[in-house]
Chains A and B, each alone.
Chain A
Amino acid sequence: MLKSRIIPCLDVDKGRVVKGVNFLDLQDAGDPVEIAKIYDLQGADELCFLDITASHEDRGIIFDIITRTAEQCFMPLTVGGGVRTIEDIRKLLLSGADKVSINTAAINNPLFVKEAADKFGSQCIVVALDAKKENKKYGNCRWEIYTHGGRNRTGLDVIQFAKKMVEYGAGEILLTSMDKDGTRSGFDVDLTNEMSTNVTIPVIASGGVGNLVHLAAGIIDGKADAVLAASIFHFGEYTILEAKEYMRNQGIKIRID
């Protein structure tokens, strides 16, 4: 049977890792390729790069990073951030990305996801959705989609929208709780569970991991197919292997090759 996946995620700005990765014994701790190699050795199940480069002229740098990573790490690589056109996707895939994650462009034009899935296949189209729990009723939303790092609300219910994305051919949902992101207080497991039980494609839980208990809860309570985390791995608090051994001890099916 399929194993639950652990996916470390790196934020990359102009080809450099941001949010301070802090590995010992690393010659260049800002080089995404060096860090990718470490995660590869530790047995990460996939890698995720989020390109946060703002300026248009610097956006090309990510392609070289992907190529160099794919040359050395024989594991799946997802790249997101600023994916807006079919040409963006083509270039990322040709550089060596296995999957491309679409966020704002999917919200602005849901049919873009259909076009992308028709063109490149559902297997490489991830739709990334950022959601916040509604305290006051806003229409029928329970969790509303936000864009621009949680600044802009959309009025869209994340579960309903995700179902539409499945219909349009998305292969996977990367679900981030904006309430939890950066808090290190654990996933929004209710949101994750609601999503996982309502869509037929795999769901990656994201946002809020502070320790290994949180990772396990994303799978056990949230019913996620994969868990994504950044800081707990970057700062060397836990290795991927430690996380996997912990999860396996909790009865989760995990790959340790």
Chain B
Amino acid sequence: MEKIGIIDFGSGNLHSVLKAFELVASKSNKGFKVEIVQNSDDLLDCDRIVLPGVGSFADCKAGLEKIDCLIQSLNDLVVNKGRPFLGICVGMQLLADQGLENNLTKGFGWIEGSVELINLKSKILKIPHMGWNTLHIENNHKIIKNIDLGENGLHAYFVHSYNFYLKKEENLITTSNHEINLTSMIARDNIIGMQFHPEKSQKLGLKLINNFIEWSP
């Protein structure tokens, strides 16, 4: 039975992430168990790893660093051993080389780029980019297989003020427009990041979670 580990480093609420994964896993033909992981030992036998995160880039990084060897284990399991990985919201932003929220904080450097404040010219559009937006496909990927996206497609729930500015176009899966094209989904090899909250995105969210747990990179 495959184990899906959701990393808990003290960043707010994991409950809905857990429940959303449990619901999707319970409907799958393959057997899955979904668990909250709080230390690097429990991470070792996770076949799939999910890193949710809310709050600031620096706080989330500090929370992860507090757990013994966790970042080293993540590096080993995800980068060296290729286990499927999903970062959500700040959990996606942490994949960058650096984040510029409050002060400069180093990220994992798994996907090249930098996380910076969204700067809009518009006086009408608001920051945070908060609410439901559509996803526009930039590069196709198995994670969005059989999902209706684009202008008239399903919506995802966002709440963020910082954007992941990618260095390489090839890592971009979808964008979401808010005057500028914000990075909404990214990928590299066995790694996926979602800026929005799949666990809060009703229909679309559950479909994406399903594609993630069925995904063979």
Interface 0/1 of B145-177, CB less than 8 Å to A: 000000000110111110000000000000001
Q: Would you call A257 and B202 a contact (CB within 8 A)? A: yes
CA distance A85 to B178 in the complex (A): 34
Which single member of B13, B59, B161 contacts A97 (CB below 8 Å)? B13
Q: Would you call A202 and B126 a contact (CB within 8 A)? A: yes
Q: Would you call B129 and A2 a contact (CB within 8 A)? A: yes
Looking at the assembled complex, report how far the CB atom of B147 sits from the nearest CB atom of chain A, in whole angstroms. 11
Which single member of B126, B155, B178 contacts A257 (CB below 8 Å)? B155
For the complex, is B217 an interface residue (Cβ under 8 Å from A)?
no
Q: Would you call B19 and A75 a contact (CB within 8 A)? A: no
CA distance A97 to B159 in the complex (A): 14
The interface residues of chain A lying within 8 Å CB-to-CB of B16 are: 70-71, 74, 96, 98
Q: Would you call A255 and B132 a contact (CB within 8 A)? A: yes
For the complex, is A249 an interface residue (Cβ under 8 Å from B)?
no
Residue of A nearest to B101 (CB): A121
CA distance A95 to B133 in the complex (A): 26
Beta-carbon contacts under 8 Å, A63-119 to B: 67, 70-72, 74-76, 93-98
Q: Would you call B132 and A3 a contact (CB within 8 A)? A: yes
- Please indicate which of the listed interface residues A120, A123, A172, A226 has the most CB atoms of chain B within 10 Å of its own CB: A123
Looking at the assembled complex, report how far the CB atom of B124 sits from the nearest CB atom of chain A, in whole angstroms. 8
For the complex, is B128 an interface residue (Cβ under 8 Å from A)?
yes
Mark the stretch among B26-34, B44-52, B76-84, B203-211 that contacts chain A. Answer: B203-211
**Chain B, interface SS category:** mixed
Which single member of B15, B20, B131 contacts A225 (CB below 8 Å)? B131
Q: Would you call B202 and A5 a contact (CB within 8 A)? A: no
CA distance A68 to B178 in the complex (A): 33
Q: Would you call B12 and A201 a contact (CB within 8 A)? A: no
The interface residues of chain B lying within 8 Å CB-to-CB of A5 are: 131-132
Q: Would you call A171 and B157 a contact (CB within 8 A)? A: no
The interface residues of chain A lying within 8 Å CB-to-CB of B130 are: 2, 123, 171-172, 202, 225
Q: Would you call A200 and B200 a contact (CB within 8 A)? A: no
CA distance A75 to B20 in the complex (A): 11
- Please indicate which of the listed interface residues A76, A94, A120, A171 has the most CB atoms of chain B within 10 Å of its own CB: A76
CA distance A40 to B23 in the complex (A): 16
CA distance A13 to B158 in the complex (A): 30
For the complex, is A228 an interface residue (Cβ under 8 Å from B)?
no
Question: How many residue-residue contacts, CB under 8 A, span A and B?
Answer: 107
CA distance A68 to B16 in the complex (A): 10
Residue of A nearest to B153 (CB): A257
For the complex, is B127 an interface residue (Cβ under 8 Å from A)?
yes
Given known contacts A70-B19, A121-B55, A257-B155, is B128 in contact with A171 (CB within 8 Å)? yes
Interface 0/1 of A40-62, CB less than 8 Å to B: 10010100000000000000000
Q: Would you call A3 and B54 a contact (CB within 8 A)? A: no
CA distance A110 to B159 in the complex (A): 23
- Please indicate which of the listed interface residues A74, A94, A95 has the most CB atoms of chain B within 10 Å of its own CB: A74
CA distance A208 to B155 in the complex (A): 29
Looking at the assembled complex, report how far the CB atom of B18 sits from the nearest CB atom of chain A, in whole angstroms. 9
The interface residues of chain A lying within 8 Å CB-to-CB of B133 are: 1-3
CA distance A95 to B15 in the complex (A): 8
- Please indicate which of the listed interface residues A120, A201, A257 has the most CB atoms of chain B within 10 Å of its own CB: A257
The interface residues of chain B lying within 8 Å CB-to-CB of A98 are: 13, 16, 159, 200
Given known contacts A2-B133, A93-B13, A200-B126, is B178 in contact with A123 (CB within 8 Å)? no
For the complex, is B56 an interface residue (Cβ under 8 Å from A)?
yes
Beta-carbon contacts under 8 Å, A179-227 to B: 197, 200-203, 223, 225-226
Looking at the assembled complex, report how far the CB atom of B205 sits from the nearest CB atom of chain A, in whole angstroms. 6
For the complex, is A247 an interface residue (Cβ under 8 Å from B)?
no
Which single member of A94, A171, A197, A203 contacts B159 (CB below 8 Å)? A171
- 25 residue pairs bridging A and B, Cβ less than 8 Å apart: A1-B133, A1-B178, A2-B125, A2-B178, A3-B133, A70-B13, A70-B19, A74-B20, A76-B157, A93-B13, A94-B12, A96-B16, A120-B55, A121-B55, A121-B56, A122-B128, A123-B159, A124-B12, A171-B128, A200-B126, A201-B127, A202-B128, A257-B155, A257-B202, A257-B204
